[in-house]
Amino acid sequence: MISGRRHERRRRIGLLSLIVLGLFAVIALRLVMLTMFEGPRLSGLARAEHTETVELNAARGPIVDRYGTPLALSAESRSVFARPGVLLRRSSAAQRAELARVLNLTQGKLEARLATRAHFVWLARQIEPNVAQAVEGLNLAGVGSVPEFKRFYPERNLAAVVVGMAGVDSQGLSGVELRYDSLIRGAALKLEFEHDARGRPLLDNPAALKEAQAGARVMLTIDAAIQALAENELSRSVRLFGAKRGTVVVLDPFTGEVLAMAAAAPHEQAGSSRLHEPAIETTFEPGSTIKGLLAAVALEDRVVDPHTKLFCENGQMKLGSLTIHDHGAHQWLDLGQIVAVSSNIGAAKIALALGSDRYFKGLRAFGLGRPTGIDLRGETAGLLRPAAAWKPIELANHGFGQGLAVTPLQLAVAYAALANGGLVMRPYVVKEAYDPFGRLIFRRTPRIARRAISPVTAHETSVLLRGVVESANGTGRLAGIQNVGVAGKTGTAQMVDPRTRAYYRDRLVASFVGFLPAEDPRLVILVVLEDVGHGRFGGLVAAPVFRTIALPTLERLRIAPRPAPQVTAGYESAELLPLGSLAGSRPPVPPDDRSIRPGSGHAETPAFTGLSLRQALALGRRLGLDVEAVGSGYVVAQNPPPKTPLATLRRVEIELQQDVNRLADDARGVSPPTRGTASPSGRVRGAP
């Protein structure tokens, strides 16, 4: 009986032991699982529960101009923080009211910031050191201050649209501050606050402190002196002419370096100039400034040459149901005259002769319809619709800059290609960057985006553009500088009503873009004044701003003026192409065969220009002259000039070109004017 009871007891003890051992095995297995598999996760949760990590921004690197003038710097300041639970438990309402007063906060706003479950909140960021000292003097538990760096701009708003802005957390918001933020920001300072489960601090001061590293020093291509000049003159002109906005771009045409990029508006809010860059973000219809690019494309594709004559329809040309107008009743004009007097009809005829595909490809080659690739964020591509969508009237309108849109920088880069021999350069605003120890991080070098035109075409176009400024009737005469060759183009475009998509009659965009010295270009300067009133054309309001900026800039770059060759109706050197006398005088009528006969007493050479080859040869035979012809089509030049005494001659040289008027007329479906009623004037090559 007793042995049976002992056996039962042992059995129960053994079973209980097995159960206990099983429990220990399960616990041990769980511990192993928690340690090996769940350990890192649980450790992280524990640290997160008992540790608060705060990042304090390092000093952002300085931004300086190309000569080291500081445009953006960082200064040490203080930021006040609080641990809400501690402060609320260990302070009275009166003490917190005093804290709010020192921080220039309302007590309600302070209490709202403290009404949170967070273990850490900022009360004030980047304040003056004396304010932080006053806070510390209150000796409130749960309140402290740490050093931070505040961004400031020593030259106030100088180059603001390029430099941009940094936020209170040291993040770049716009401009170079945004584009190069990863370089400029540096390594942040990390502080860790430890506390128990109830939020009570275990260590009242920062426990883990990682040394911060300042950001890189960034050197711009901007010249602060040129930038200041551009901003001042632009602001004055915006106020003077009642513009809603103005933009100036100054480029080095051979490198793409931006020497100045300015924007102005009459009622601009403080700080807004740092958030937007109109030179790359806004677009406008280029108006007649496009004619410089049109001429280059037409010359490159050999649709015209500098001496080609076009009949400009006495100031009005019908195209379907619409009429294209000129400001003057022009008749026969050569290419240089069309550009100089800014004939819309002449430009439309050239565009029609080019055709949509060739003109579109030419404009794309200059960079229209695509971003320039500048090292800034937010650049827009402008507007250049595919050529297949162009109707004849749209093609004609594109010839004088309507129906397409460009950014100011796009237009400046395109004209830089005319200045440098035909290369489209990628513009840039940051030249170099250095780490905090002065070691070079990178240095940017000029980059060619593409070739737009040949050097010969670029030179021919440059000479044409000089006529805009230097010829007697040129629209850009107010941009001229004594003893400095200036090549450029005026532009005046009507603004579009965004609601009706129709053009305003009395709201214009006036512009001028040019380069100088024309013989050895060092500067491209673009001036755009948007939303000016009726009658304020580019040649009247934008060209003078160009001149006012260009003169001191030439002095700063130590470019000495030198006598500029005069642009006349004939060659003065092998480098200059003739631009001819501008419109205003009546073109001569082709010679009447009945009045010129052997022995008729005609003592002077007649004008051959405007005649076909057959007519020119017949006239030469009647006068007893050998006629040497070059080219085909119609006579556009002769040597010697008209009115040369016949007694001294044995030979006349003539140059013929295909009639661009006829090509354009074919494109628009009309008949060209009768040649016997209005003929182009002759062009002189020089005495034999």
Residue 650 sits in a domain of what CATH number? 3.30.10.20
Q: What is the pLDDT of residue 131?
A: 82
The reply to whether 351 and 388 lie within a common domain is yes
The reply to whether 521 and 598 lie within a common domain is no
Does 561 reside within a domain? Answer: no
Does 15 reside within a domain? Answer: no
Q: First CA to last CA across the chain, in angstroms?
A: 153
The reply to whether 504 and 610 lie within a common domain is no
Q: Classify 193 as helix, strand or coil.
A: strand
Strand pairing class (440-443; 448-451): unpaired
The reply to whether 310 and 408 lie within a common domain is yes
Write out the residue range of the structural domain in which residue 520 sits: 224-556
* Separate counts of helices (H) and strands (E) for the chain: 21, 25
Q: List the structure tokens of 621.
A: 């035979």
Return d(Cα 449, Cα 427) in angstroms, integer. Answer: 10
At residue 388, φ and ψ (nearest 5 deg) are -65, -20
Does 598 reside within a domain? Answer: yes
Q: What is the pLDDT of residue 592?
A: 34
Nearest to 196 by CA among 46, 43, 38: 46
Reported in sequence order, the residue ranges of 154-197 that DSSP labels E, i.e. its strands, are 165-166, 172-174, 189-194
What's this model's pTM, rounded to 2 decimal places?
0.72
The reply to whether 391 and 500 lie within a common domain is yes
The reply to whether 120 and 197 lie within a common domain is yes
The number of angstroms, rounded, from the C-alpha of 432 to the middle of its chain's C-alpha atoms is 20
Strand pairing class (626-631; 651-657): parallel
Last residue of a domain, one of 556, 585, 620: 556
The reply to whether 232 and 196 lie within a common domain is no
Does 358 reside within a domain? Answer: yes
Q: Is 406 exposed, middle or buried (0-12, 13-18, 19+ CB in 10 A)?
A: buried
The reply to whether 247 and 179 lie within a common domain is no
Last residue of a domain, one of 505, 533, 556: 556
The reply to whether 370 and 519 lie within a common domain is yes
Does 211 reside within a domain? Answer: yes
Last residue of a domain, one of 534, 556, 578: 556
Q: What is the pLDDT of residue 420?
A: 93
Does 490 reside within a domain? Answer: yes
Find out whether 426 and 412 touch, Cβ atoms under 8 Å.
no
At residue 175, φ and ψ (nearest 5 deg) are 60, -150
Residue 229 sits in a domain of what CATH number? 3.40.710.10
- Per-residue three-class SS string for 528-549: EEEEECCCCCHHHHHHHHHHHH
How many residues make up the chain in this entry? 688
Residue 203 sits in a domain of what CATH number? 3.90.1310.10
Which residues touch 622 (CB under 8 Å, ≥6 apart)? 593, 596, 597, 598
| H/E element, 8 | helix 2-33
The reply to whether 641 and 515 lie within a common domain is no
Domain count, the chain: 3
The reply to whether 306 and 449 lie within a common domain is yes
Report helix, strand and coil shares of the chain as percent, to nearest 5: 35, 25, 40
Does 493 reside within a domain? Answer: yes
For residue 471, the one-letter residue type is S
The reply to whether 100 and 204 lie within a common domain is yes
Question: Which alpha helices (DSSP H) does 424-527 contain, by range?
Answer: 455-470
Does 27 reside within a domain? Answer: no
Low-confidence ranges of the chain (pLDDT < 50): 198-209, 270, 564-602, 671-688
